[in-house]
Every structure is written in structure tokens, then in C-alpha cells.
A and B are shown apart, each in its own frame.
Chain A
Amino acid sequence: MVGRKSKLRRILTVDLPMVLILTFTLGPYLWMLLTSVTPESRLFTEGPGLVGATLENYIRLFSTVGFLTNLIHSFIIAGGTVIVGLTLSVTAAYSFSRFSFRGKRYLLMQFLVINMFPVVLLILPLFVLMRVLGILDTHLALIIANATVAIPFSVWMMTSYMNGIPKSLDEAAMTDGCSRLGALWRVVLPLCTPGIIATGIYIFITAWNEYLYALTLGGRNVRPITVAIQTLIGEYEVEWGLLTAGGIVGAMPATVLFLIVQKRLISGLTQGAVKG
């Protein structure tokens, strides 16, 4: 009797509010999904619905709009950013986590502060500089722009992962004849692999989702998915079926990756915050 009562109470105070919040959270996304499978002819008469659901919008997206090219551009940019972000920050993170040296705190803070500056402060000079260098509208331009976010983030995350690996392991490797870099390469990095993968995936997602740099520094020859979706908005009318299908496809890689790594990622992201 008591058990049933408390169960009812739980449903009213926990399950029900949770369902409401989740409806708010997922509702817009599901609405977009529903819109994307509604035939164009029904959309403005009946509204989005499952009656006569069709993949016609998705097919049109790839056959006539050429979404595949945009997907490839996005992959090159996001993948390039991951490589640049990770390789440049591995040794830096190792240095932060293993040595104490003069100016360490300031250098570490420097990496934290970068991500707090407004994008707009960076985007204007980057545009001017890249125009002078003649690299506007190339993959390189967008990889560089995304690296401004990726490098500091990656340094910060990897330092925290490496701090979790005991120093005694490096020392043991060095007594066995490894050099410093040998210890990093053979001992620390393999142990960090899960952390490195999570960091890489997060960088990938951020670069994939990025819009303002892509719009300003690319956009004509190099048009990643985020810019392509926006250009689906016509001058006079919006093809909502096509647009929402584009939204679903564009969001898919990042969403799936995020769901895969969320646990590890969140423990890394919140570590600093919980300590503070």
C-alpha cells in the first residue's frame, strides 16, 4: 500500500515533470523530423503529419541540391581541425601536466581565456588577414579559424586527462631507458587514448556545427553543411520540407557522435567546474 502510494507520488513529482521537460527538449527536433517527411503538397494544407510520409525531400537534397559535396567539405574541415587541434596540443598538455616552470599559470590561463573572447573580435581581423594571404574560401582558412577554438580547448582537456595518469609511470619508463618523449609516446598517450578520442570528437562536433566563420571566411567554393542549409532559404519562399530535411542530415553526425561520447566528455568538461 505504502509502496504504491510512493510510486504514484514519484510519477507525479518526478516522471511527469521529466516528461514535460523532455517534450520541450525534443519537441522542436521531432517537429523538424516530421516536417521533413511530409510531402510538399500536404505541408501547407494539412500541416506536417505521418500520412503519406515520404523521403522525397531527402532524395531531392542529394540529387538536385548537391548536399553530398557540402557534407564532404564539412568532413574535410572538421577532420582537419581535429588533426591540427590534437597534434598541436599533445606536447603542450604533457608539459603542463608534468613540469613546473616559470609562467606556467599564465600560459595555462592564456589557453583558457582564448575561448572567452567574442568571435566577432577574431572574425574581422581573420577575414582581413586571410584576404591579404589569399587563402579566403579554402579549407585551410576554415581549419585555421576553427583551430582558434580547438587548440585551447584541446590543451585544456588533455591536460586534465594527463593529470589523471600517475607521474610514477613516466618515471618507471624513464628508469627503464625511455627518454621523456619516449615516455610520453609509449606510456602516457596510450593511457590517454579514451580522453584523446573524446576530445577529438568534441572538436569534430564543434567544427562541424560552426557557422559564422564558415559563412564569412568560406561560403562560395568551400561551402560546409551549415552554410548550405541556410542558403536553402529562397528569396521569396521557403521550402520547409527541403530545409528541415537538410537540418536533420546536417545535425545527424554531430548528434550521433555526441550521444556516443557524452559520458566521458561530460566528466571531463565538468571536472574543472566541480572543483571550483
Chain B
Amino acid sequence: MPSSETPIRRGALARQVLPYALLSPAVLVTLAIVFFPMAQAAWMSLHDYILFKPKEFPFVGLKNFFTAFQDEVFWISLRHTVLWIALTVPAQMLLGLVTALLLNQRFPWRALARALIIIPWALPSVVIALMWVWIYDANYGILNEFLLRMGLLKASIPWLADPDTALYAIILTLTWQGFPFFAVMILAGLQSIPKSYYEAASLDGASAWQQFWYITLPGISGVLITAVLLRTIWVANSIDVIFVMTGGGPGYATYTLPLYAFIKARTNLDFGYGSALAVLFTLMLLGLVIVYLRRTGRATS
């Protein structure tokens, strides 16, 4: 009976096509607004492309990349990027860990503290940046005022105008902005550790430190690694706070690689070289992204 076969087959076909059909709006739009532009960036990086000379778009192969390797500013920016990640992420993590451990204790105003701790996370980065510029202000800033009154400083320091302190001042700002994320993630991890483990350990006479080392730390290691990966990628990418606070200056003192790419394109309108820098930076990040995807892929499958 062929007539009864067709609807079934049609049904099976529909079942096969349906998932893709449902996916298609999101997939097609992301292809158009994310993956196509990225391919375009890679394409631009192989050309000499200055925005105010739109007629000239000569193919130059890997020239922009070789230029980068001989560019002193590229290496300065790369060094700052490494320093920037190596200081910001651990600082955020440690402060976040301490905060999470505290928030996991029992105290009367815990719910309030938990809500308030997230505020930096919700603020626009422009506001954060300007707020800290005001705090660091050489003449009227509260930081200098505070340190002078405490007797820790003899004269006020222009934190953001001094090449020796500018990068570290921004790192403190980023730490402030990012540690609540760690606190919240770690807190979720802490709450997934069964209470009975601690009870058993204290019955066996384990000290608080031993309990932390043998129960808490292994219990949150998964969250910790995921959070560190996510934050490293995020901190590496983040340029808005630096851009507003110093714009990369004084000199090149606060250039990071993505910021350099952005400034090259924005101020010099050199989109070829800017794209090449962006592509280089993306390739460097890719290792981290792959590690993160592997972890998440395991967790979701």
C-alpha cells in the first residue's frame, strides 16, 4: 500500500528537517552579522587598507603581519596584555574567593551583602572608568587625599598620568569590576558541596585549614577553572575601561594588543593593519577558547 507510506516518509522527512528549520533564523543571522564580518576582517588584514583611500585596496599577503612583528609598539602592547591578564585575573580570583567564602558563612545580613556585592558588575564600563579617573585624580582625587592623610604618601601621585603607575591603576579598577563575578560563581560551587563532608571531617578532627584544602578546594576546582578561563578571555578582550581611562597613554604605557588594534583603526584609520593586529590577537586567544570549549562540551554532552 504505497499510499500509506508517503505520509510516514513525509513525516520522517519533516522530523529531520524541522530541527534545522527552527535553528535557521538564529544561525543565518549570526552568520551574517558575526561570521561574515570576521571573514571580512581576515580578508582586510591581507590588504593595505586606509579608510580615507577607499579606492586603493591592494592585496599584500602577510605584509601586515610581518610589519607587526617588527613593530615595537606591538611588542610593548603584547607585554602589557600578558601583564594585564597575569595580574588582573588572579587578583579578581583571590578577592572573589575570599568574598565567596565569607558569603557562604551564616550571618544576619548575608542576603543584603550578597545583593550589594554584585553592583560593580551591573555598572556600565564607561561609568566605572570615569568614576575611577575621579578617584585617581592628581589634585582632587580621594585616593591621594586618603594616602596623604594616612601618611603613606608625601606628595600626591598623578596615578594615571605617570607611566609607572597607570597600568597598575587600571588593573585595580578591572579587579574591582570583575571580582564579583568570581564571588558569585565560586559561591555557587561552594553551595554544591554537601554539608555532610564537613561534618565527617570535623568529627575526624580535621582543622579548618585542612577542611578548606581537602574538601572546599577540590569541591570548587571545576568552577574555579571555568571561571578563570572565562575571565581570562574576557579581561584580555576588555578595552573599554582602558580606552576611557587613559586611551592607551601616557605614551604607550597602557596599550594592550586589542586596544592597539582599535586605536590603529580608529585614529589612524589604518583598517588593514588594525585588522591584522586583531587577527593576531584572536589567534593567541584561540588556545584558551578551545580549552574552554572542550570543558563545556564535556559538561553538556
Contact = CB atoms under 8 A, between A and B. Distances in A.
Pick from A24, A31, A121, A123 the residue with the most CB of B within 10 Å.
A121
A110 B281 contact: no
A63 interface: no
A155 B26 contact: yes
Interface string A254-276: 11011100100011011011111
B162 interface: no
A236 interface: no
17 contacts: A91-B26, A92-B27, A101-B20, A105-B297, A105-B300, A109-B293, A116-B292, A117-B282, A151-B26, A151-B30, A208-B124, A233-B130, A243-B130, A250-B127, A274-B188, A274-B189, A276-B296
Contacts of B134: 31-32, 35, 240, 243-244
B37 interface: yes
A10 B102 CA distance: 10
Contacts of A111: 26, 30
A50 to B, nearest CB: 15
Contact of B123 (A17, A29, A112, A120): A29
Interface stretch (A125-133, A166-174, A188-196): A125-133
B184 A92 contact: no
B261 interface: yes
B188 A216 contact: no
A128 B44 contact: yes
Contact of B226 (A24, A89, A129, A276): A276
A250 B271 contact: no
A47 B122 contact: no
Contact of B37 (A126, A247, A266, A270): A126
Interface string A1-34: 0000000001000110110011011101101100
B145 A273 contact: no
Nearest to B139: A44
Contact of A24 (B27, B130, B176): B176
A119 interface: yes
Interface in B260-301: 261-262, 265-266, 271, 274-275, 278-279, 281-282, 285, 289, 292-293, 295-301
A44 B223 contact: no
Contacts of A127: 265, 271
Tell me the dominant secondary structure on chain A's binding face.
helix
Contacts of A59: none
B161 interface: no
A110 B22 contact: no
A125 B282 contact: no
Contact of A21 (B105, B117, B243, B259): B117
A98 B27 CA distance: 17
B165 interface: no
B229 to A, nearest CB: 9
Interface of B: 16, 18-20, 22-23, 25-27, 29-30, 33-34, 37-38, 40-41, 44, 51, 95, 98-99, 102-103, 105, 107, 113, 115-128, 130-132, 134-135, 137, 140, 142, 145, 176, 180, 184-185, 188-189, 192, 222-223, 225-227, 230, 233, 236-237, 239-240, 243-244, 258-259, 261-262, 265-266, 271, 274-275, 278-279, 281-282, 285, 289, 292-293, 295-301
A254 B34 CA distance: 26
A152 interface: yes
A266 B95 contact: no
Given A147-B29, A244-B134, A14 B102 contact: yes
A125 B33 contact: no
A120 B127 contact: no
A103 to B, nearest CB: 9
Given A95-B22, A128-B40, A120 B33 contact: no
A4 to B, nearest CB: 15
B266 to A, nearest CB: 7
A29 B34 contact: no
Contacts of A124: 41, 44, 261, 265, 271, 274-275, 278
B289 A113 contact: yes
